[in-house]
Structure 1
Amino acid sequence: MDPVQQNFMHEKILKLRKVRSQPNEEEGMSSVKASPFPPAEYDASFGANGKLLLGFNGVHAGWASNIVECKTLKQHYLATIEGYHTTSVPNIGGIARFDQSGNLDTSFGNQGTGILEFRFGQSDGYCNFTGIEECDDGSIFVWGSYERYADNVLFYIISKIAPDGTTDESFGSNGHCRLDLIASVPLNLPSYECVVINSDGSLNVACRRPSGSSGSPLIIKITPEGLLDKKFQKDGFLEVTFGGPGSTSLSGIIHKDSLSEGILAYGIFIENGKTFGFLKMFTRGGVVDSGFGTNGVAVIPSQQEIYVDSLFASPDGKQLIAAGMGGVISNLNSFLWKYDLKGNPDPGFNEGQPVTHDFGTRADIWVSAMQRDDGKVIAIGSGNSLD
């Protein structure tokens, strides 16, 4: 698909997320349709009969959007909670910390609740959290977008939270780094995997230009203080591009590994009217790593128009799992492809070719995938009519 179509798809998915967080007008709660599957057998030892319900002072929050394991507390987790995309009910968003038994960690959050009400330091709009990560020192980075109700202005923010749950005001402006302000150009965060945290507290961030604007997608570097690191590549900006203007769309970045902290970017590009998925490797300093693939790039052939939605590096540091969707805009099938860390297709996985799946809807998308210790791949995603 071309960049216009990809932006359409990206915005469509975001719209679906917002609709999902709309409350029922009569009850003030999210509408829920009956599942076609048998009821789940909840683990009654977790939370209350297998469920941990999140809210603030009796006010129901929206849906939980991200969950990660804590690095400083064993068997503890952090989850982001969306607010409702409406002005008719209290718009509550935030972060919860809880243990493996479903008990909220009362040492975290507001007034010993285990839940931190958090909205990027804003108060007049809708939060969309797309990622959260805890550092080895207990500090927390959270990122996403904020849309003001008054004028529907949408901007993207990365915030830093101290280990005690207070905003770390040493980062950015009072703890918040608004990308369009530090970069002096409008920038979007394209996906969940758009921020990587380096060992020195700096960040690498994958950025997409807004729809209708010119220029290639970028990787920028943010200092531990929340400022644009102008020593990184060209005044803090690294362009990721193939061919002419508008030919490349960047989906996200991950670390090659924790030791080298190489930057592995992925997305699609268009050449001679054909769409190709790509993986491109850079060193920590933003220099192309020529030892990966062919001159630093692994290209996914264009038998199908493939959009790489997610990339997973296996714990053994030997393999990469690319997941996403392929086909045409009117009929998308999910796909998986496995590589080694040299950028070569794994011949042991479908003879080195991508695996596609059609679940019978117009848009079958693998959103993420991971590899188990036994080598098998677990993928999650969705199917939607896009109507």
Structure 2
Amino acid sequence: MSRSTHPENSGTLDPTFAEGGVLKWPTGELGGHFTQAILPLAGNKLLITVLLPEKTGAFGLAKVNEDGSIDREFGGAGTGVLEFSLDARLDEIIDICGLIDGGWLVKVTSSYGLYLVRFLQDGQLNTAFGKDGVRWVPFHFEPGGEGREDGPVTFRWQDRGPSAQATRSSADNGPSAVEQPDGKIILRSLVYVGINRSHWVVLRLNPDGTPDDTFNGSGSVDIELPGIPLFGTTVKGVALQADGKVLVFGEDRNDTLDSSIYVMRLDATGRLDTSFNAGKGFMTVPNLRYAYANALAVRESDGAIVVAGDSWPDADQGYDRQGLMFVLTHDGFLDFAFNSGQPLFSKLVDKGHNWHRCAWQADGSIVAAGTVGRAGYIDTGVDKALTARLRSDGSLDLTFNGSGFVLFNEEDYEATVEDMALMSDGRIVVSGFTRRPGIVLPRTFGSWFVRYLA
């Protein structure tokens, strides 16, 4: 857990990082514009992922030193970027997961499935995982057996090429893959049924990348809530509690504008955990207007759960967003210590904002980052990155930048948040895209990283 190390300057840019606390990417001769996921490393270094749009199927990894310089020795080519190519057109890098062995698992989507690429600590592929370090998880499953009375239908994951009829994947948020202490990997994925219908599943892989049949008898769990069609439930991410139970979160929607945000818990075997929320196995925050759950974090000290996202309460009249946050106890009840047990809606600036990432600090404070501005597909020319710190009761921590929050964007440009991470000493790193306002839509042409004192 991180602790505050610079309380007198908390929430201000760290002058020891890059140029006054800001690192811009591409930098110098290093290419690749889209840095969608970041991971803190030992020695206060940072691992960043780089999507390389000029090279079909390619992405890169780079290490950033504590002072914001690029570790040129990483990757072995002298550039500081370790490039890796897949035989597919890639959509986006979803996230990067740190592993117990010191390596990393990178999750990348194509139009037809997921690529899980596992690296060792030295940047080499872990060839014991999948096929030479790569595991392909298609969005289409085939039944692998007939239904049985003594257990669920099992599935065989196709390892052949993707179907040309598959629909493109949607954008993802949140932690979408985590490693258990025994090395097994929990992740979420889509399953397409036919051409235009899909639903979400949670999968568990063995350390070598094969499906773990001890998880729900098949390695796969369909995520659905009572009274909600399977196709109406979205999984935004997964997380682990200290006792090995699996948290799943997302939204469900009906035929109106209303939606609910849910948190579900599965036990170690993949079954619905009925000890969560007094026997239900899940809890919901219902009757929200255009609500999205974007991030979830578990507090190490007691297993408390914070969920962050956004809601558009006046979506039929405009597109100003409100940040949405609530806290649950370990066993799935709204925590009355946070905002008197109610969801917290916040609009810290006039144009509204969302919460895209969140994290607990050791003292029970919550750090959250998101983007100021209206709906992402509407060019308002006002997008800024917003980072805030809330006390454990939900009030703004006014010692953070003197106001509880801080804004960032480059002059004449827009800034949208993609990821956030806490360094081991508590300093806060936020990353995102740099965009130039356009007549209809903004144009993304680079990335940025800022580091704030804690």
Instruction: Determine which of 264, 282, 285 is the counterpart of 1:220.
Output: 264
What CA distance in whole angstroms lies between the structure 1 residues aligned with 2:191 and 2:76? 31
Instruction: Determine which of 200, 206, 223 is the counterpart of 1:179.
Output: 223
2:202 partner SS: strand
Aligned to 1:281: 327
Compare 263-272 and 101-110 and name the one that shifted more.
263-272
Compare 215-224 and 123-132 and name the one that shifted more.
123-132
CA shift, 1:324, in A, is: 0.7
Asked if 1 retains the 8 angstrom alpha-carbon contact of 2:184 and 2:206, the reply is: yes
Aligned to 2:214: 170
- Between Structure 1 and Structure 2, the one with more helix by share is 1
2:138 partner SS: coil
Instruction: Determine which of 47, 72, 75 is the counterpart of 1:46.
Output: 75
What CA distance in whole angstroms lies between the structure 2 residues aligned with 1:168 and 1:175? 5
What CA distance in whole angstroms lies between the structure 1 residues aligned with 2:214 and 2:95? 25
Aligned to 1:207: 250
What CA distance in whole angstroms lies between the structure 1 residues aligned with 2:133 and 2:366? 35
Aligned to 1:257: 299
Higher normalized contact order (CA 8 Å, seq sep 6+, divided by chain length): 2
What CA distance in whole angstroms lies between the structure 1 residues aligned with 2:305 and 2:83? 37
Cα separation, partners in 2 of 1:207 and 1:42, compared to 1, 3 Å? same
CA shift, 1:41, in A, is: 5.7
Are 1:195 and 2:242 an aligned pair? no
Instruction: Determine which of 352, 362, 381 is the counterpart of 2:432.
Output: 381
Cα separation, partners in 2 of 1:306 and 1:152, compared to 1, 3 Å? same
1:365 partner SS: strand
Give TM-score scaled by structure 1 length. 0.73
Give TM-score scaled by structure 2 length. 0.63
What CA distance in whole angstroms lies between the structure 2 residues aligned with 1:31 and 1:332? 29
Aligned to 2:445: none
Asked if 2 retains the 8 angstrom alpha-carbon contact of 1:61 and 1:81, the reply is: no
**1:1-387 correspondence runs (5 A):** 29=56, 43-49=72-78, 50-55=80-85, 59=87, 62=90, 64-71=93-100, 73=101, 75-83=102-110, 85=111, 93-110=114-131, 113-119=132-138, 121=157, 124=163, 125=166, 131-147=176-192, 151-172=195-216, 174-180=218-224, 184-189=229-234, 191=236, 194-210=237-253, 212-213=255-256, 214-233=258-277, 235-241=280-286, 245-247=287-289, 249-269=291-311, 276-295=322-341, 297-301=343-347, 303-304=349-350, 305-314=352-361, 316-329=362-375, 330=380, 331-359=382-410, 364-372=415-423, 375-384=426-435, 385=437, 387=441
Cα separation, partners in 2 of 1:235 and 1:108, compared to 1, 3 Å? same
Which amino acid in the other structure matches residue 207 of structure 1? G
What CA distance in whole angstroms lies between the structure 2 residues aligned with 1:310 and 1:107? 32
Aligned to 1:14: none
**What is the aligned length?**
340
Aligned to 1:4: none
Asked if 2 retains the 8 angstrom alpha-carbon contact of 1:23 and 1:31, the reply is: yes
Asked if 2 retains the 8 angstrom alpha-carbon contact of 1:179 and 1:186, the reply is: no
Asked if 1 retains the 8 angstrom alpha-carbon contact of 2:383 and 2:416, the reply is: yes
Which amino acid in the other structure matches residue 372 of structure 2? G
Cα separation, partners in 2 of 1:107 and 1:31, compared to 1, 3 Å? closer
The share of aligned pairs that are identical, in percent, is: 18
What CA distance in whole angstroms lies between the structure 2 residues aligned with 1:23 and 1:45? 21
Deviations 1:222-276 (A, max 9, x none): 23332333553373331114xxx34361424534412321121222346688853
CA shift, 1:326, in A, is: 2.1
CA shift, 1:337, in A, is: 0.7
Asked if 2 retains the 8 angstrom alpha-carbon contact of 1:324 and 1:336, the reply is: yes
Cα separation, partners in 2 of 1:334 and 1:119, compared to 1, 3 Å? same
